[in-house]
Structure 1
Amino acid sequence: MANVTFLAIGLVMAGAASLIGMYTMLIGEIDDSLKTSQKALSSTPFTSGGLQQLCTMAGMLQTNDGNKVVAQAFDQDLFLVLDPQGRISTVCEGNVANLGQERRSLAAAMPDPRSLAASGDAATVHSDGNYYRVMVSRLGDGTMVVKGMRLNGVRRAVGHLFIVEVIDSVVLLGLLAMGSLTAARRRLQPLEDMVETASAISEGDLSRRIATASHGSSEVEQLSAALNAMLQQIETALTSSERATAQLRQFLADASHELRTPLASVRGYLQLYEKGMLDPDEKDRALTRVSAEALRMSRLVDELLALARLEDRPALAPRPVDLTQLVRDGVADLAMQQPQRPIALILPGCVEVLGDEAQLRQILGNLLSNVRVHTPADSPVTVEVVRRDEDVLLRITDSGPGLSPQDAARAFDRFFRADPDRARDTGGAGLGMSIVQAAVDAHHGSVRLDTAPGTGLTVHVTLPSARPAELVVESEAVPGR
């Protein structure tokens, strides 16, 4: 609406300027013509008598058919003679037919002709509904000659121009109003989409996003992009919060379940012991079971504390640690526990990583413990360290049963066990891989699994490097004992 208003004001001003300019220009042309003719007349030593003779001569020049051609040409404009007192004179009166009444009306309507003659200016006179532009010059004997031109044609032309400009302005304003309304609706459509999207989100549809409008302004597109980014962050935050809440509930349930079984066993054996219902041999077995269950609970609590500390993102004081030496130590422990297992080592020279030695040992120990527990004792395992441009890759490959895609996706979840039936025998609570992932994240590394049922399991651990790669590569096999 503001655009239409401004355009209307501009059109009014432009139209007024054009009308005034056209009228002024036409009047100026008429005034110049009157001044030229009156100047020629005033510069000639005419008197009223000489003017009478000139009019008589003009009346005598006629064609054979009676048309006064010369007279009509002589009197094509208004020509009026006034005496020195300003009254209409009989000089030339009657020589041009049908103009006597018009001359008399013009003479009666004229302002003071003597002041006009003295000033030499032209004036506009209104007489009997007609408009004239007149100029007065004085002859040598005081007689005044009035030369006039009709302005009705000029006024009609200006009036027609005014009508044309009004029509054009109305049409132009109408088109502009329609175009502005259409453009405004198109440009405001993204804002309507934003309102609709906000309503949908308030009703629970968190995945709703604002569609990108190709016809919107750049500011609206930027606003849409910013809102979409904000909505994505909000959805991610809410999803993460819901996932964390679900994980917390699952964690409490799993932790309660893991602690309930050993506590029930301990409580049962103690009750039997207190009531004297156990034989001496059974007492020793009961104390052994109580000690084992207490050790299991202690190990579970230690793992939970370690996982909690790692997830709090502790500030590490990283220092160069020889990863190859840690691998040799871990493999030696595995070979001591399972002498019959073939173990292959692929190690470069000294490869140092930035990290905490205790946590790195825990990562390696948990991974090798999974190999020991979840694969046959005589199946081979390969441990490899690869030095790359920016990091170091620790790769452990076993020949066990592998994991299904569903189990592999949950391998890093707390208390997850792919083979829960063996948990009682091994004492595992399903926190080993969770601790590995948390420790690797604390070192700004990454860990992933490569597995399939029947093809074994490969764990890829990436850690930040401490110095450039060595060129010497060792390949060795650890013999069984």
Structure 2
Amino acid sequence: MGHTVAMRAKLAISSIVVLAMGLVVLISFSVMGIRHYLTSSIDDDLRMSRDGIEQTGMSTATITQLVGSTDLLRQGMLSAGLHGNVFVILDPTGAIVPLGGHAADPAQTALAATSRVGPGETLRRAPHAVSLGGEDYRAAAARLPDGNVIVLAQPSGDVEDVVLKVVHLELVVGGVLVVLLGTFIYFGARWRLRPLEDMVETASAIAEGDPDRPNLSRRVAPRKKTFREVEQLRTALNAMLEQVETAFDTREHAAVHLKRFVADASHELRTPLAAIRGYLQLYEKGMLADEEERTRALTRMSAETERMARLVDELLALARLDQRPQLRPRPVDLVCVVREAADDLRAQQSERCVRVDAPDACAVLADESLVRQIVGNLLTNVRVHTPVSADVRLSVATVTTARGERAILRVRDEGPGMRAEDAERIFDRFFRATHEGAAGTTGVPPGSGLGMAVVQAAVAAHGGSVRVTTALGRGLTVVVELPATGAEGLAGGGAGKTRAAVSGLADPIAPAAATASAATPGSAASHSAEAP
């Protein structure tokens, strides 16, 4: 708040200083102009008087005769244009010529003293300034026909009086203008800078709030008739607050998600560890005396160990995918990967009907190991959570969108389906929907709840999207969209056509390890994923 007040004061002071300087310059020029105008008027009167005497041919004798009578003198002076001004007649030697027996007064004596010219000097006909008895006059001389010189003088003291009055008037008016302008600028700046005060108030309210949960929803409201720069600052500040709020919410959501993830992971790992610890305690206490019981215990511990290893592998794969690894995208035949995964499912569940509807080839620009893991996890989800009587259909197609060629993979099963609220959480980590059939019917224990989360992360790493369509009793359809490339990209031979790459399906760590190598710039990992 102090900075805003200081800004208003500085604006007002700087404006007052500039105005005062302008007034000083204006007064100086006006004084010079008025003085020049009034002085020029007096000089014009003197020139007219001087020229009138010269043109009428008045001599010393004529002027002397006119002095005898006051009325005649006044009329004669008026006709000569003297208007009662001070004048004196000098002979060629510079001595004062008496007029009508009257002695020269002090003003005439002083005028004669200032108007005498020495030998070789010219007559000062042009008006010039003289001082008579401490008063200012303007004087001019004219030569009479008899050789004498008449010097005329007119007081100019009124000029300074007028100039002084004008200066006083301009100072008073200028002072009032300075005060009014300073007041107007101060309060005008205060009104114009109110948006800055709003910004300070908003920022202070956010800073003084709860540090653990600040109120980042506050925004600076717009005001009418503000400066464009201030409005730009307000818009930028609101945009910054919007980003800060989004980042804070994202961090808070990530913290909650991490806490839940750690809790779920701990719970999932505790179960196999508890089972292994229990069997070991039974063995240490000698309660597994029978060979069959020991064999059964070892089998159960081995199964729990494998379950825990798969869980750790999937957690590592998710952690690496969350770090947005650089992939090694290359053309991969999605149809070949789908057919091989379908063959694997038929080998594991020969009773299940598995159909593949796909063209001869469909190339996607992706990391092959991750593509195999995506397809493998989708079919594993079908194998674990649906009865063997549920048919499975896989289809591959290519469509053209605004983002270019896209490959569409659909995995549809005719299992029990899911509820809408469960379908919304299908990509959550450690989420497993509860419905009739899955494990009890197939005899397979439920998975870790990470398979679909790995699918979503892998698809997002390629700049694709994944979504599900399901309902209770209507099965489940998973639609995966990946960036496609032309079929000519497979001409180099055999991307995805060897069974060696199938190991990526069995070992979830393999895809993540494969992505550790540097990829070329502009890989699919830089693309943002769509919401499922």
What TM-score range do you get, normalising by the shorter chain? Answer: 0.7 to 0.9
Deviations 1:211-236 (A, max 9, x none): 45665544444444444444444444
2:319 corresponds in structure 1 to 308
For 2:439 and 2:322, locate their aligned partners in 1 and report how far apart those are by CA, in whole Å: 25
2:115 corresponds in structure 1 to 113
Question: Residues 41 and 247 of structure 1: is their aligned pair in 2 closer, same or farther, counting only changes over 3 Å?
Answer: same
Letter in 2 for 1:145: I
- Check if 1:329 corresponds to 2:340: yes
Letter in 2 for 1:243: H
Question: Residues 460 and 270 of structure 1: is their aligned pair in 2 closer, same or farther, counting only changes over 3 Å?
Answer: same
Q: Which moved more, 1:312-321 or 1:109-118?
A: 109-118
Question: Residues 442 and 185 of structure 1: is their aligned pair in 2 closer, same or farther, counting only changes over 3 Å?
Answer: same
Equivalent residues of 1:79, 1:145 under 8 A apart: no
For 1:469 and 1:181, locate their aligned partners in 2 and report how far apart those are by CA, in whole Å: 74
For 2:107 and 2:353, locate their aligned partners in 1 and report how far apart those are by CA, in whole Å: 134
Equivalent residues of 1:48, 1:91 under 8 A apart: no
The one of 433, 436, 447 aligned to 2:455: 436
Secondary structure of 1:383's aligned partner: strand
For 1:199 and 1:427, locate their aligned partners in 2 and report how far apart those are by CA, in whole Å: 53
Q: Which moved more, 1:237-246 or 1:449-458?
A: 449-458
For 2:473 and 2:172, locate their aligned partners in 1 and report how far apart those are by CA, in whole Å: 88
Shift of 1:241: 3.6
Secondary structure of 1:49's aligned partner: helix
Equivalent residues of 1:117, 1:144 under 8 A apart: no
- Check if 1:275 corresponds to 2:281: no
1:162 corresponds in structure 2 to 167
The one of 425, 433, 436 aligned to 1:410: 425
Question: Residues 456 and 169 of structure 1: is their aligned pair in 2 closer, same or farther, counting only changes over 3 Å?
Answer: farther
Letter in 2 for 1:303: E
For 1:305 and 1:48, locate their aligned partners in 2 and report how far apart those are by CA, in whole Å: 130
Shift of 1:192: 2.8
Shift of 1:43: 6.0
For 2:40 and 2:317, locate their aligned partners in 1 and report how far apart those are by CA, in whole Å: 103
Letter in 2 for 1:7: L
- Check if 1:466 corresponds to 2:485: yes
Deviations 1:325-360 (A, max 9, x none): 222223344455556656564434421011122210
Q: How does 1:139-154 map to 2 (within 5 A)?
A: 139-141=144-146, 143-151=148-156, 154=159
2:43 corresponds in structure 1 to 31
Question: Residues 289 and 80 of structure 1: is their aligned pair in 2 closer, same or farther, counting only changes over 3 Å?
Answer: closer
For 1:178 and 1:56, locate their aligned partners in 2 and report how far apart those are by CA, in whole Å: 68
1:247 corresponds in structure 2 to 257
Shift of 1:146: 3.6
Letter in 1 for 2:29: A
Shift of 1:321: 0.5
For 1:451 and 1:76, locate their aligned partners in 2 and report how far apart those are by CA, in whole Å: 121
Shift of 1:49: 0.5
Equivalent residues of 1:123, 1:134 under 8 A apart: yes
Q: Which moved more, 1:300-309 or 1:315-324?
A: 300-309
For 2:188 and 2:95, locate their aligned partners in 1 and report how far apart those are by CA, in whole Å: 67
Question: Residues 12 and 363 of structure 1: is their aligned pair in 2 closer, same or farther, counting only changes over 3 Å?
Answer: same
TM-score between the two structures when normalised by the length of structure 2: 0.72
Question: Residues 257 and 214 of structure 1: is their aligned pair in 2 closer, same or farther, counting only changes over 3 Å?
Answer: same
Shift of 1:129: 9.6
For 2:223 and 2:87, locate their aligned partners in 1 and report how far apart those are by CA, in whole Å: 79
- Check if 1:447 corresponds to 2:457: no
Deviations 1:276-318 (A, max 9, x none): 3244443343333222222211221221222233233333222
Higher relative contact order (CA 8 A, sep 6+): 2
For 1:157 and 1:397, locate their aligned partners in 2 and report how far apart those are by CA, in whole Å: 106
Q: Percent identity?
A: 45
1:476 corresponds in structure 2 to none
- Check if 1:7 corresponds to 2:19: yes
Deviations 1:379-435 (A, max 9, x none): 455433332332322233445555555544433232122229967953311111121
The one of 257, 262, 282 aligned to 2:272: 262
- Check if 1:299 corresponds to 2:314: no
Equivalent residues of 2:366, 2:462 under 8 A apart: yes
Q: How does 1:36-435 map to 2 (within 5 A)?
A: 36-42=48-54, 45-53=57-65, 59=71, 77-84=83-90, 85=94, 87=96, 89-90=98-99, 104=105, 106-107=107-108, 110=111, 112-115=114-117, 118-124=123-129, 132-141=137-146, 143-151=148-156, 154-155=159-160, 157-202=162-207, 203=209, 204-211=214-221, 215-278=225-288, 279-337=290-348, 345-389=356-400, 390=404, 391-400=406-415, 402-403=417-418, 406-419=421-434, 426-435=445-454
Equivalent residues of 2:192, 2:227 under 8 A apart: yes
Q: Which moved more, 1:397-406 or 1:322-331?
A: 397-406
Q: Which moved more, 1:205-214 or 1:425-434?
A: 205-214
Letter in 1 for 2:335: T
Q: Which moved more, 1:428-437 or 1:404-413?
A: 404-413
RMSD of equivalent CA atoms: 3.9
- Check if 1:16 corresponds to 2:28: yes
Question: Residues 212 and 455 of structure 1: is their aligned pair in 2 closer, same or farther, counting only changes over 3 Å?
Answer: farther
Shift of 1:7: 1.6
For 1:344 and 1:237, locate their aligned partners in 2 and report how far apart those are by CA, in whole Å: 45
Question: Residues 136 and 331 of structure 1: is their aligned pair in 2 closer, same or farther, counting only changes over 3 Å?
Answer: same
For 1:406 and 1:179, locate their aligned partners in 2 and report how far apart those are by CA, in whole Å: 64
For 2:76 and 2:473, locate their aligned partners in 1 and report how far apart those are by CA, in whole Å: 127
The answer for unaligned runs of 5 or more in structure 1 is 62-67, 94-99, 471-481
The answer for unaligned runs of 5 or more in structure 2 is 1-12, 490-532
Deviations 1:157-203 (A, max 9, x none): 54454344334323332332123213422443343333333323323
Deviations 1:109-136 (A, max 9, x none): 6461325983234244677997643323
Q: Which moved more, 1:84-93 or 1:238-247?
A: 84-93
Equivalent residues of 1:348, 1:387 under 8 A apart: no
Deviations 1:234-282 (A, max 9, x none): 4444444443333333222212211111121122223223333244443
Equivalent residues of 2:192, 2:226 under 8 A apart: yes
Letter in 1 for 2:369: A
Question: Residues 218 and 264 of structure 1: is their aligned pair in 2 closer, same or farther, counting only changes over 3 Å?
Answer: same
Equivalent residues of 2:65, 2:100 under 8 A apart: no
TM-score between the two structures when normalised by the length of structure 1: 0.79
For 1:452 and 1:106, locate their aligned partners in 2 and report how far apart those are by CA, in whole Å: 125
How many residues were matched structurally?
456
For 2:152 and 2:439, locate their aligned partners in 1 and report how far apart those are by CA, in whole Å: 127
